[in-house]
Amino acid sequence: MDKLQVVGGAIVSGEVTISGAKNAVLPIMAATLLTDQPVILDNVPLLEDVNTMRALLQKLGATVTKEDNGVLGFSTEAATQTEAPYDLVKNMRASILVLGPLLARFGHAEVAFPGGCAIGMRPVDVHLEAMEALGATISVNKGFICAKVNGRLKGCDLNLGKVTVTGTENIMMAACLAEGRTVINNAAPEPEVIDLANFLNTLGASIQGAGTHTIVIDGVERLGKPTRYQVIPDRIEAGTYLVAAAITAGSIRLNAVNPKHLEAVLALLKKAGAEISCGDDWIRLSMNGKRPKAVGFKTDIYPGIPTDMQAQLMAMNAAAEGDALMEEAVFENRLMHVPEMRRLGAHLKQVDSNVIQSSGRSSLTAAPVKATDLRASAGLVLIALMAEGSTVISRIYHLDRGYSELDSKLRSLGVDCQRITDNLEDREASEEEIG
Neighbouring-strand partners of residue 4: 393, 419
Whole-angstrom distance, CA of residue 128 vs CA of residue 263:
33
**Buried b / exposed e across 22-61, counting CB within 10 Å, b at 16+?**
bbbbbbbbbbbbbbebebbbebbbebbbbebbbebbebbe
What is the C-alpha to C-alpha distance for residues 251 and 12, in angstroms, rounded to an integer?
A: 6
Q: Pick the catalytic residue from 117, 176, 278, 417.
A: 117
- Residue 158 burial class via C-beta count within 10 angstroms: exposed 0-12, middle 13-18, buried 19 and up: buried
CA-angle at 373, arms to 364 and 418, nearest 5°: 55
Q: How far apart are CA 250 and CA 83, in angstroms?
A: 49
Peptide linkage before 303 cis (omega within 30 of 0): yes
The amino acid present at 61, given as its one-letter code, is G
Respond yes or no: is residue 156 known to be catalytic: no
- φ and ψ at residue 380, rounded to 5 degrees: -70, -35
Q: Kindly give, in sequence order, each residue whose CB lies less than 8 Å from that of residue 230, ignoring residues fewer than 6 positions away.
A: 20, 41, 42, 43
434 and 165 Cβ atoms separated by less than 8 Å: yes
Cα–Cα separations (whole angstroms), residue 19 to 233, 397, 403, 405: 6, 18, 8, 9
Nearest to 217 by CA among 226, 208, 230: 208
**Active-site residue set:** 117
